[in-house]
Amino acid sequence: MFWTPAAVLPRPGLAWQALGPDSARVTVTRGGGLTQAVDMTVRPDGQPLVVHFMRWSNANPAKKYRLQPFGGQLADFRLVQGFRIPFDVQAGNQFDTDAYFAFFRAKLRAFRFAVAGA
């Protein structure tokens, strides 16, 4: 959802629900009962700003595997071949807590989609 929110457009196995005027949750269900809920905060025009979900990780002081908050922020959107792409993405464990640490930081310099048959 950080790079390709269109991948979660409505289809079988995806259920969307509004959480508020600027946020929504998509729940992805796969065979065998595996589900993952992902929350997204958007601007009034629908541009995603924040992605947040629970992740199985041991990135905590006890080094114990457990579900814990993960997420990040998207910024510096630019138009690329008709799509708005975030050129600045930061994400990490313990998102939206005092222990948050953004270990993933990406600042794109350029982006292009491959064209089939080109």
Q: What is the pLDDT of residues 92-113, one digit of tens each?
A: 999 999 999 899 999 999 988 8
Nearby residues of 73 by Cβ (< 8 Å), 6 or more positions away: 49, 50, 89, 90, 91
Nearest in space to 75 (alpha carbons), one of 50, 93, 53, 97 = 50
Span 12-23, pLDDT tens digits: 889 999 999 999
Joined tokens for residue 59: 């990135």
Give the per-residue pLDDT at 96: 93
Global pTM value: 0.85
Tell me how far the alpha carbon of residue 8 is from its chain's centroid.
10
- Confidence band, pLDDT 50/70/90 cuts, at residue 114: confident
Span 56-92, pLDDT tens digits: 999 888 999 999 999 999 999 999 888 888 999 999 9
Domains of the chain, residue spans:
5-107
Joined tokens for residue 82: 């008709």
Give the per-residue pLDDT at 118: 64
- 105 close to 115: Cβ distance less than 8 angstroms: no
Share of the chain above pLDDT 70, in %: 99
Geometric angle at alpha carbon 28, from 26 and 32, rounded to 5°: 160
Tell me how far the alpha carbon of residue 5 is from its chain's centroid.
8
